[in-house]
């Protein structure tokens, strides 16, 4: 066999691997090798064999009964860029000491972050580079304010996140990178660092085939994590763009693959009622969660269904950004802001539901905006596909929405103008929109996480079968 033939065989094998990776919804579509290499270089990741050896060493360092607790303490200057935290450990069985160093790279959290101060740090164990990690500490400004209620909350949140890191073991949920310790008397938790978000990732894809795979596999991986949490009686109440990150690791084909990682584990809590004062919400939150308001002290029910809705809105926003489609603001900050809710007032220190009708009206208004935004992106996508010679009927999940709103002709007109004025080629298959429509159904019509996961897996299989038939 000559060189050319050997090269052709190698290329065919590479294409087979890429196709196999693409068909696996538990992995995101592969990126070109040069892009993957560049992205991985910015993640800050040591060699896999070094990381494994360090994990083994830590396991032999921490007594079994102390795992998950504040196991060691050290002191030093106030955390800031360039500060190096040094911890000395005694490794059991080997009767020797090990030195762990954490060099602060930068602060990741902003001044408005209520959960704590978050830092990126380079981690070394006996001089061997493990990789970049995330350190989380109680928020400095709150510690200095010494407000008892705030201090109690931030320590409870940090303790909850520490426990969640130890409690959950799922490939799409962030994991701990090392044991918790104290620094200057304050707890510090460690977790793996994910530099890139899903929104960063999708801008590297150009074809409809790749884009469809990216969105469908991302939804399936998030739903897999949401289902896992639901099976354990927990729910992540803060699914949003910043919390759906990328992880790079070796895939089943032996190459470097990309996978979804959900972060912010202090937003994972048991399913059930939570006080509104402890509620976490974001620009993608399910507005119907506020229909669950009930006294005393206005409790709100946290349940897995809201994670599905928030994921749907997050992916709609990501798709709109990738396709450069202008969407409407949801107005959630108008409904929920500064600790207040439309139709709810604080009277004598108690939060009281005062106007349920007004609250429900606002909730339905936000739900309508979410559906409008889905249709805005859908019609832009549809017209781009028509210009490319692809004609499809409206998917079943959208037909009802299209019939519901009299504003649809105006939405179609704006979408057509957007296509005329744009040279962006990015499109996805209509199955993506049918799946997103399932996610943002009204609460009473929404499936549970496992059913939703099976539904999207079936849609993905149908899409692959259609693609295969088209190729033939």
CATH of the domain at 63: 3.30.200.20
Question: Can you read off the two tokens belonging to residue 48?
Answer: 């896999």
For residues 97 and 83, state if they share a domain. Answer: yes
Same domain, 184 and 222: no
Number of domains in the chain: 2
Please state, in angstroms and rounded to a whole number, the distance separating the CA atoms of residues 323 and 426: 6
- State the DSSP H helix or E strand holding residue 186, giving kind and residue range, or none if neither: strand 186-192
CATH number of the domain to which 278 belongs: 1.10.510.10
For residue 467, pLDDT over 80 is answered with yes
- Percent of the residues in the chain that have a pLDDT greater than 90, as a whole number: 46
Residues 174 and 114 grouped into a single domain = yes
* Measured distance CA(84)–CA(224) in Å, rounded: 38
- H or E stretch covering 281: none
Q: Are residues 361 and 420 in the same domain?
A: yes
Is residue 107 included in any domain, yes or no?
yes
Distance, in Å, from the CA atom of 284 to the CA atom of 98, rounded to the nearest integer, reads 44
- Return the bridge partners of 129, or none: 124
d(CA 257, CA 82): 32
Domain boundary among 192, 208, 224: 192
pLDDT at 193: 93
| In a shared domain, residues 216 and 73 | no
What was the pLDDT predicted at 399?
Answer: 86
Contact 307, 226 (CB under 8 A): yes
CA distance 78 to 161: 22
Given a cut of 70, is residue 286 above it in pLDDT? yes
Let me know if residue 455 belongs to a domain. yes
Q: Do 343 and 412 have their domain in common?
A: yes
The answer to whether residue 406 sits within a structural domain is yes
User: How many angstroms separate the CA atoms of 173 and 171, rounded?
Assistant: 6
Give pLDDT tens digits for 205-221: 989 999 999 999 999 99
pTM of the model: 0.88
Measured in degrees and rounded to the nearest 5, phi and psi for residue 351 equal: -90, 120
**Cβ–Cβ contacts within 10 Å for residue 200, how many?**
13
Tell me if 139 sits within 8 A of 148, measured CB to CB: no
Residue range 294-321: average pLDDT? 87
- Pair (89, 226) in one structural domain: no
Is there a single domain that holds both residue 213 and residue 181?
no
Tell me which residue range forms the domain holding 399: 198-471
Q: Please report the pLDDT score of residue 308 as a whole number.
A: 97
Strand partners, 173: 262
Across 304-322, average pLDDT: 96
- Do 85 and 101 contact (CB within 8 A), yes or no? yes
Q: What is the pLDDT of residues 36-93, one digit of tens each?
A: 888 888 888 888 888 888 888 887 775 433 444 445 678 889 999 999 999 888 777 7
Average pLDDT for residues 399-415, to the nearest whole number? 90
Domain edge (last residue) among 153, 172, 192: 192
User: Where does a domain end: 158, 175, 192?
Assistant: 192
Are residues 228 and 122 part of one domain? no
Confirm if 401 and 441 have CB atoms less than 8 A apart. no
- Identify whether 40 is part of a domain: no
CB count within 10 Å of CB 119 equals: 23
Alpha-carbon gap, residue 179 to 54, rounded angstroms: 12
Q: Are residues 362 and 228 in the same domain?
A: yes
Cα separation of 49 and 128, whole Å? 11
């Amino acid at each position: 066999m000559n060189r050319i033939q050997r090269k052709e065989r190698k290329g065919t094998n590479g294409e087979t691997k890429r196709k196999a990776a693409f068909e696996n919804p538990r992995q995101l579509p592969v990126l070109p090798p040069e892009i993957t290499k560049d992205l991985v270089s910015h993640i800050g990741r040591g060699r896999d064999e070094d990381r494994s050896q360090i994990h083994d060493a830590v396991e032999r360092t921490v007594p079994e009964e102390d795992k998950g607790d504040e196991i060691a303490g050290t002191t030093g200057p106030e955390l800031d860029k360039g500060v190096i935290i040094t911890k000395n450990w005694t490794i059991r069985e080997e009767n020797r000491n090990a030195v762990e160093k954490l060099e602060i790279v930068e602060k990741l959290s902003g001044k408005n972050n209520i959960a704590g101060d978050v830092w990126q740090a380079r981690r070394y164990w006996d001089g061997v580079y493990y990789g970049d990690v995330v350190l989380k500490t109680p928020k400095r400004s709150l510690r200095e304010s010494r407000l008892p209620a705030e201090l109690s909350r931030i320590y409870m949140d940090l303790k909850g996140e520490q426990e969640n890191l130890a409690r959950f073991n799922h490939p799409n949920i962030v994991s701990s990178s090392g044991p918790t310790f104290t620094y200057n008397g304050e707890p510090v938790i460690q977790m793996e660092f994910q530099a890139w978000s899903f929104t960063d990732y999708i801008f590297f894809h150009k074809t409809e085939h790749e884009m469809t795979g990216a969105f469908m596999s991302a939804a399936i991986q998030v739903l897999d994590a949401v289902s896992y949490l639901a099976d354990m009686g927990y729910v992540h109440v803060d699914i949003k763009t910043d919390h759906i990150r990328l992880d790079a690791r070796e895939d089943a084909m032996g190459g470097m693959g990309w996978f979804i990682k959900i972060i912010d584990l202090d937003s994972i809590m048991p399913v059930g009622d939570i006080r509104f004062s402890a509620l976490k919400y974001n620009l993608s939150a399910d507005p119907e969660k506020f229909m669950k308001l009930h006294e005393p002290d206005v409790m709100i029910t946290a349940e897995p269904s809201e994670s599905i809705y928030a994921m749907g809105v997050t992916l709609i926003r990501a798709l709109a950004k990738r396709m450069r489609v202008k969407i409407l603001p949801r107005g959630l900050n108008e409904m929920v802001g500064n600790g207040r809710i439309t139709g709810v007032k604080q009277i004598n220190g108690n939060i009281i539901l005062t106007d349920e009708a007004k609250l429900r009206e606002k909730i339905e208004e936000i739900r309508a905006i979410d559906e409008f935004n889905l249709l805005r992106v859908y019609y832009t996508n549809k017209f781009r596909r028509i210009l490319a010679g692809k004609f499809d009927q409206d998917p079943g999940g959208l037909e009802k929405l299209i019939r519901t709103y009299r504003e649809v002709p105006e939405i179609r007109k704006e979408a057509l103008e957007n296509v005329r004025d744009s040279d962006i080629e990015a499109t996805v298959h209509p199955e993506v929109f049918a799946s997103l429509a399932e996610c943002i159904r009204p609460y009473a019509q929404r499936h549970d996480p496992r059913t939703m996961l099976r539904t999207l897996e079936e849609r993905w299989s149908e899409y692959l079968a259609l693609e295969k038939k088209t190729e033939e």
